[in-house]
Amino acid sequence: MIKWQKQGEAVVGPVVLGDGQPATVVLVGTRQNPKGAAIVLTPEDNGPLKTTPLNDALGRLDPAQVIDIVCVQERIFGNSGLPPAELP
């Protein structure tokens, strides 16, 4: 399970991609918004951060992480009636 936390208006959590690369999930809006979720890749050599839309990184995430991401995004930004997530 991803350890989520609020950071301003965003919700962020660390993940490790299937190839072992560390990254951060950033949620800022609804699932219907193409820019509502992104993956920020952590560079190996202190280079610039690379951001990619969540949809482009789905194949690199563990299925359990994808479910966690979608559920938290819906609980924070969605209108499905799910109870809001309690985050630190």
Asked, for residue 83, whether it belongs to a domain, the answer is no
pLDDT given at position 63: 95
The count of structural domains within the chain is 1
Q: What is the pLDDT of residue 15?
A: 96
Q: Is 73 a domain residue?
A: yes
87 assigned to some structural domain: no
Query: Which carries the bigger pLDDT value, residue 82 or residue 36?
Result: 36
User: Is 88 part of any domain?
Assistant: no
For residue 78, the model assigns a pLDDT of 87
pLDDT digit string, tens, across residues 27-76: 999 988 989 999 999 887 878 889 999 999 999 999 999 999 999 999 99
Structure confidence at residue 41 (pLDDT): 93
Q: Is residue 48 part of a domain?
A: no
Q: Residue 46's pLDDT is what?
A: 79
- State yes or no: pLDDT of 87 exceeds 90: no
Does residue 34 sit within a domain? yes
Query: What is the extent of the structural domain holding 11?
Result: 5-19+27-43+54-77
Task: Report DSSP letters for the chain, one per residue.
Answer: ----EEETTEEEEEEE-TTS-EEEEEE-S-TTSTTSEEEEEPPTTS---EEEEHHHHGGGS-HHHHHHHHHHHHHHH--S-PPPP---
Q: What is the pLDDT of residues 2-11, one digit of tens each?
A: 999 999 999 9
Q: In this structure, is residue 82 part of a structural domain?
A: no
